[in-house]
Homo-oligomer: A and B are copies of this chain.
Amino acid sequence: MPKNALYAQSGGVTPVINASAFGVISAARRHRDQIGTVFAARNGILGALDEVLIDTAQLTDEMMAQLKYTPGGAFGSCRHKLRHGAELKRLFEVFETYDIGYFFYNGGGDSADTCLKVAEFAQYHGIDLTAVHVPKTIDNDLPLTDCSPGFGSVAKYVATSAREAGLDTASMAASSTRVFILEVMGRHAGWIAASAGLASTDAYSAPHLLLTPEVPFEAGRFLRAVDETIARAGYCVVVAAEGIRDTHGVYLAESGVVDAFGHAQLGGVAPILAGLVKQHLNQKCHWAVADYLQRSARHLASATDLAHAVAVGETAVAYALAGIRSVMPAIVREDNEPYRWRIEPVPLADVANHEKPLPLDFLTSDGFHLSPRGREYFAPLIQGEAPPPFRDGMPDYPQWQFVVNDRKLPSFDPTRG
């Protein structure tokens, strides 16, 4: 009897994380002689611990196809860092009970750490388990891979949104709003904010200013840049990462300066920036916070990103079957024009707990714009459209209703007590 596999989704979801699930499950199905049942854990590692498992054999061909175009996490995700001791021990009890020989963990940096812990535990105890990490994060901060599946679609969304809102702002600028601020995700790294710069094709088109955590925020310099942009282009579109910090490294959303403009715990740098613009430049300012919209907008996913997501899932299975353990399938860029890429394994130990910052030379020297090098990097990642089917005017996403297995072990819920 071949060993079974366990697949789990972890951390913040992406528009294409389910495409990686498709990759894993479909590849395993092509090797039924080597991989038996593929279980998916309900709500990530929490379901693995609490033995809430979905036998993916219940996924029909139609449901498999739906995985490729449905955002969110089909099996549920979680934010939970696996603890040594009771939790890790329990996880292996579940593995043993279900004869799991392959563990595919689909997540970002924290999840790579979990995956590594699992791999090391197996090795130390001589347990026959192959753990492979399947990369995913909209933050694009995983090391050793050219990019992270999920990011390209978010980049496409924010660049498109900045371009569209820019056309709107330009129309209104003669007598009303001249400044529009779009807040995007990126607590630690400015990958997403920077990628929005793709929409700007000259000194006049939006977005005009990019604010990233890598470049310390100085209110005076920012306001001068807004003012100059309005003088030149007639209006100004700003894309700001949520995690921008002042010169002391203090998050703008948490700095004392901003108390009058917004309640820090609730986040939101856009209203703070809008307050500065209104107060100091006396310009009418509109602002948007994309939040979950940017990372669930599967209707605007990048076909390139989708291809990456499927490929890392499929390749994870290939590695596992070839006995390549404790790795992550990484995306290697071979060429930019035309864009070519391949997948290579990188050691999990080098991936876990490292965050890849946005290279400063992806920005111009003033930090406000995308450099040619940055544009060269980002451009291929948003290429191609892969819209979901529409029904009744909306994307026709399924409402997943999976049957979970009957429990064989006592309950174990790490979120309780």
Residues of A within 8 A of B (CB): 9, 12-13, 42-44, 46, 70-73, 76-80, 156, 159-161, 163-176, 180, 182, 198-199, 201-202, 204-205, 260-263, 265-268, 270-271, 274-275, 278, 286-293, 295-300, 302, 304, 379, 382-385, 387, 390, 392-395, 397, 399, 415
Complex partner residue of A292 from B12, B169, B201, B383, CB under 8 angstroms? B169
Residues from chain B with Cβ under 8 Å of A170 in the complex: 72, 76
In the assembly, what is the distance between CA of A261 and CA of B262, in Å? 6
B198 A394 Cβ-Cβ under 8 A: yes
Residues from chain B with Cβ under 8 Å of A198 in the complex: 392-394
A171 B293 Cβ-Cβ under 8 A: no
Main secondary structure of the interface of A (DSSP, over half): mixed
Complex partner residue of A395 from B76, B80, B163, B298, CB under 8 angstroms? B163
Residues from chain B with Cβ under 8 Å of A270 in the complex: 289
In the assembly, what is the distance between CA of A173 and CA of B292, in Å? 13
A-B contact pairs, 29 of them (CB 8 A): A13-B168, A13-B172, A72-B168, A76-B174, A77-B171, A77-B174, A78-B172, A79-B172, A159-B394, A163-B395, A163-B397, A164-B292, A164-B293, A164-B297, A164-B298, A164-B397, A201-B399, A261-B266, A263-B275, A267-B271, A271-B271, A287-B289, A287-B291, A300-B300, A302-B393, A304-B393, A382-B393, A385-B387, A385-B390
Complex partner residue of A156 from B201, B292, B383, B394, CB under 8 angstroms? B394
In this complex, which of A77, A205, A387 has the most chain B Cβ atoms within 10 angstroms of its Cβ?
Answer: A77
Residues from chain B with Cβ under 8 Å of A289 in the complex: 270, 287-289
Given contacts A71-B167, A292-B165, whether A383 and B379 have CB atoms under 8 Å apart is no
Q: Which B-chain residue is minimally distant from A237 (CB atoms)?
A: B292
Given contacts A163-B397, A271-B268, whether A291 and B292 have CB atoms under 8 Å apart is no
Residues from chain B with Cβ under 8 Å of A160 in the complex: 299, 394-395
Given contacts A266-B275, A291-B288, A292-B286, whether A175 and B80 have CB atoms under 8 Å apart is yes
A293 B291 Cβ-Cβ under 8 A: no
Complex partner residue of A263 from B77, B161, B171, B271, CB under 8 angstroms? B271
Residues from chain B with Cβ under 8 Å of A302 in the complex: 393
A386 shortest CB reach to chain B, Å: 11
B394 A72 Cβ-Cβ under 8 A: no
A400 shortest CB reach to chain B, Å: 9
Given contacts A13-B171, A160-B299, whether A290 and B293 have CB atoms under 8 Å apart is yes
A46 shortest CB reach to chain B, Å: 6
In the assembly, what is the distance between CA of A271 and CA of B395, in Å? 28
Q: Which B-chain residue is minimally distant from A152 (CB atoms)?
A: B393
Residues from chain B with Cβ under 8 Å of A261 in the complex: 263, 266
Residues from chain B with Cβ under 8 Å of A182 in the complex: 293
Residues from chain B with Cβ under 8 Å of A295 in the complex: 168
Q: Which B-chain residue is minimally distant from A285 (CB atoms)?
A: B266
In the assembly, what is the distance between CA of A159 and CA of B44, in Å? 28
